[in-house]
Structure 1
Amino acid sequence: MAETTSWIPVWFPLMVLGCFSLKWLAKKVNVWLYESSLGENKHYLPPGDLGWPFIGNMPSFLRAFKTSDPDSFARTLVQRYGPKGVYKTHMFGNPSIIVTTPDTCRRVLTDDDAFRPGWPTSTMELIGRKSFIGIPYEEHKRLRRLTAAPVNGHEALSLYIPYIEENVITALDKWSKMGEFEFLTHLRKLTFRIIMYIFISTESENVMDALEREYTALNYGVRAMAVNIPGFAYHRALKARKKLVAAFQSIVTERRNQRKQNSSSNKKDMLDNLIDVEDENGKTLDDEEIVDVLLMYLNAGHESSGHTIMWATIFLQEHPEFLQRAKAEQEMILENRPKGQKGLTLKETRQMEFLSQVVDETLRVITFSLTAFREAKTDVEMNGYLIPKGWKVLTWFRDVHMDPEVFPDPRKFDPSRWDKGFIPKAGAFLPFGAGSHLCPGNDLAKLEISIFLHHFLLKYRVKRSNTECPVMYLPHTRPTDNCLARISYQ
């Protein structure tokens, strides 16, 4: 026994030293891979570290976002390296720079000479190479110009209002008789029904349920590690994309055939507009472009709206003073309505000043979009540091929206902070991004949210079943029980 234990002091320190040496070597792999080629310029990189080989800093990112404190990921960077606002990391398979302040985010999002879209290859495989997030700058301008009016134009938004309003009224009445149900799940179904009808005139429950399930799998994969092995979220997301593309391609093919047989149809939806649009050179969109645009719009058009509506109703219910103020504004809309008018108008939705503040504050607090990805087109100097050409740049919206210098007591839901014309400094409020790549469906999303809240505030209240339910932050911020609740008449 004594002879055996006498070896412990000899081998144990060697074993510990070996472990530390292996860890040191592993942490140097990404440095050798990505920094050695920079020569002397590597000394001008921002502070930070590139994490482990291949996986980089993804484990610490995912670990933080699976806790109740997702901001601990960025906070750790600040604690270790100081409030620089610019940090080097290795995220989503690429050497990356995270920027966390309004000024740095604004520059990255608006300087098209220095930065281009830089979404990870894994994300591009899911969202589509011909979608807005993947195409070159000139192609993006062309596609945005061709689709802007059919999505966000005054005439288009006015045409969408009656259908949105009809579905909102029907859904709220139905939910008030259901007892306990998953509020978020049904909101997503409602917003998906609306966006499906606007884009492809489809109201089939079976089609919508099937597609919505595939979108759920797709979104989990967007923020996951790109491991294409059965059982992993990314693998499931790739399978979901394949099914979505097949479904949309079938719809596009069928629509083209219908138009050949009956070109005199008066009713046009977004798909018809996408088929018809052509640029100044007579170039039209091909099927791949149309499918990727549909896939992106239908995803963003129901996920962001559904989640924002849920959180806005929860926040208002938790803050009676804001709820009463928002309700009074909606009652005033009705009182001022001309006799004989049925339903909301676009003009009325733009008179909802306080409700707009509620929506903006909700978007700020929940930060639906975690980050936007850009890529440096050339070596870029920022805050005294180098962003090397080809490196990804992540605009960290959560830190921007929680900046106490711009938004005092930032974790507090307070729509009144937007009173008296308060306009945050440029780059401090980015719920839909900024610059030439601003979310193309932002006006439609806010219209949908406003119409729902208008009718909810006038007649209904929500009561959550479990107010202490934990919150999950990936792929989007939501209660783990999908907000079990009851809707009731006031």
Structure 2
Amino acid sequence: MQGGGGGRGDSSSGGGGRAILQTRLRWSSVVFNPASRRLGLRGERNGAAERRGEEGKKIGKEEEKEWYYYLFYIGNLWVLSLVTVTIIIHWSKPAGIGRSRLPPGSMGLPFIGETIQFIIPSNSLDTPSFIKKRIQKYGNVFKTSLVGRPIVISSNSDFNHYILQQEGKLVEISYMDSFDKMIDMKEMSDNGFLLMGSMHKYTRGLVSSHFGNEKLKEILISRWELIVNQTLQTWSKRNSIEVKRSSSEMVFNFTANILFGYDPEKSVENFGEIVCDIMEGMMSIPLKIPGTTFHRCFKAYEKASKLISDTMKERKENRQKQRGDLLDQLTYDMEKHTFLNESNIPKIITGLLIASFETLSITLTLAIKFINETPLVLDQLLKENEEIVKNRKNGENGITWNEYKCMTFTMQVVNETLRMASVAPGILRKVLQDIQINGYTIPKGWSIMVVPSAVQLNPKIFVDPLVFNPWRWKDLGLEVTMKNFIPFGGGMRPCSGSEFSKMVMAIFIHVMVITKYKFTKIKGGEIVRKPLLGFGDGYYVKVTKGEH
């Protein structure tokens, strides 16, 4: 048993030994046999070569892919550079006009131009620093770009007078893009309202019939005198008032009542605040993006339009609510003029409100400030207006048209305030055909901005232009004022509401001095242009009645 077992063990052991020996012999033949070794090495090299080939292909594909990305990047960069250069060339040199023939100046950045510099506030009554700096650098006629619009700004009184005389020939009335976009001038043009100046011709007649001299004589002077008396009484009962805001409310309520019968005590909405929101966005970049100034302005305009449309609809349904005001006339004229419709009427009324109450209330506030800071002016006003009242016959009460026309010094105060105020930054006109000036060309399609403050505060025309001096108007002739005093525009179509504006200021001054109301400054009153004239943090006063 043991012998058998040992034999099987040997046999097994011998088989394993043979297998190991065969394996060793094979490795020996490879190692020590040169031919076999070459074959093995060649196989290894072939395998490595194959691996390197596969890796090379991968690397080649990645390099090719990177090369394509590189070419794509370079191509896009080249296209972007080409577009940028094209925009800059187009921006600085309009097609068809050699750059040397344009007035001097800078177009600023593409799309926004010099808008940012234009709206930077300046704390002075003087001509805005944006314009003064460029007049010193380029002269009194220069080019720029505001909110993407190419504009030539002029402080040349002769050229301004010429341009304002060329309305309907070389130029036409124009507005800032924010106003155009807000009221949708394109729609008004499509339905014929802007053709052949029909808008301005019609609205001029409309304003004259409701705000002109005849209406002033008949009813508006007496109505306004009553409102001023009531307002001053109300102000005197308060601890303080902010003059600009309070004046705006007073002027707005009076004007809106004439336009469409607005009564603040019966209205659910404060229409004055809505229009103030509209005014704040008039000089902004016209982007309807939530959160922007223009977006708030546009939403306020939509609200104002709805209020006017609702009033118009209410009157159509109930004729007893018609008042014979401007809104009723517009509604009646829809049957006679195809360019009038329910969409245009709110635009007309809103436009008239914007054009009247804001500039008028700012100028009135400035007059109040000047009068109360200049005792000699106040004394002269008191003397003139007391004389007017003294000359009335027994039983006569309230100011008349003839008395208004006798207010010589009062009107000098009004004119001096208008000269110094220049509330709006400029008067816009769109160029209808190329205009030549001093060897330069203003291209068709551009705009021209006439700057009233630059001529009305010109020290060569008005001595000490920033000093409030109503007496200067005694010696100023028509040859001076015709070209250098343009608070209501000029040319063929001066503002049809100019006499109304002067009346509002003159009657307020008359009532204020006759009733001996005193305005004591509490705080504020600092003047700022941004670019509209304003009063920074406000102008707060205490109003009291008594001896001056």
SS in 1 for 2:267: helix
Alpha-carbon offset, residue 320 of structure 1? 0.9
Distance 1:101 1:181 in 2: 40
- Which of 85, 103, 120 in structure 2 is aligned with 1:63? 120
Distance 1:282 1:180 in 2: 49
Q: 2:326 — aligned with what?
A: 270
- Which of 415, 418, 433 in structure 1 is aligned with 2:489? 433
Q: 1:211 — aligned with what?
A: 271
Alpha-carbon offset, residue 223 of structure 1? 1.1
Q: 1:239 — aligned with what?
A: 299
Superposed CA deviations along residues 323-363 of structure 1, whole A, max 9, x for unmatched, are 11111111111011222222111221111111111111111
- Which of 135, 139, 145 in structure 1 is aligned with 2:194? 135
Q: Structure 1 residues 349, 202: closer, same or farther in 2, change over 3 A?
A: same
- Which of 290, 302, 309 in structure 1 is aligned with 2:345? 290
Q: Which amino acid aligns with 1:135?
A: L
- Which of 213, 217, 240 in structure 2 is aligned with 1:180? 240
Alpha-carbon offset, residue 406 of structure 1? 1.4
Alpha-carbon offset, residue 455 of structure 1? 0.6
Alpha-carbon offset, residue 317 of structure 1? 1.1
Superposed CA deviations along residues 77-103 of structure 1, whole A, max 9, x for unmatched, are 12322x3x2101011321111111211
Q: 2:422 — aligned with what?
A: 367
Aligned partners of 1:462 and 1:486 also within 8 Å: yes
SS in 2 for 1:90: strand
Q: 2:366 — aligned with what?
A: 311
Q: 1:38 — aligned with what?
A: 96
1:414 to 2:469 alignment = yes
Alpha-carbon offset, residue 388 of structure 1? 0.3
Alpha-carbon offset, residue 258 of structure 1? 2.2
Q: Structure 1 residues 69, 368: closer, same or farther in 2, change over 3 A?
A: closer
1:152 to 2:212 alignment = yes
Q: Which amino acid aligns with 2:264?
A: S
SS in 2 for 1:400: helix
Q: Structure 1 residues 146, 477: closer, same or farther in 2, change over 3 A?
A: closer
SS in 1 for 2:95: helix
Q: 1:445 — aligned with what?
A: 501
Count, aligned residues: 457
Q: Which amino acid aligns with 1:94?
A: R
Aligned partners of 2:120 and 2:531 also within 8 Å: no
Q: 1:19 — aligned with what?
A: none
Q: Which amino acid aligns with 1:33?
A: W
Distance 1:234 1:331 in 2: 48
Q: How does 1:210-229 map to 2 (within 5 A)?
A: 210-229=270-289
Q: 1:9 — aligned with what?
A: none
Q: 1:321 — aligned with what?
A: 376
Q: 1:78 — aligned with what?
A: 135
Q: Structure 1 residues 153, 135: closer, same or farther in 2, change over 3 A?
A: farther
- Which consecutive unaligned segments of at least 5 residues does structure 2 have? 1-79
Superposed CA deviations along residues 230-263 of structure 1, whole A, max 9, x for unmatched, are 222111111111111111111111122222xx49
Higher relative contact order (CA closer than 8 Å, sequence separation 6+): 1
Distance 1:456 1:59 in 2: 40
Q: 2:407 — aligned with what?
A: 352
- Which of 156, 159, 176 in structure 2 is aligned with 1:104? 159
Alpha-carbon offset, residue 480 of structure 1? 2.2
Superposed CA deviations along residues 186-225 of structure 1, whole A, max 9, x for unmatched, are 1111111111221222223363862111111111111122
Q: 1:479 — aligned with what?
A: 535
RMSD: 2.7
Q: TM-score, normalised by structure 1?
A: 0.86
* Identity, % of aligned positions: 26
SS in 2 for 1:373: strand
Distance 2:530 2:273 in 1: 16
1:164 to 2:220 alignment = no
Aligned partners of 1:460 and 1:487 also within 8 Å: yes
Q: Which amino acid aligns with 1:340?
A: G
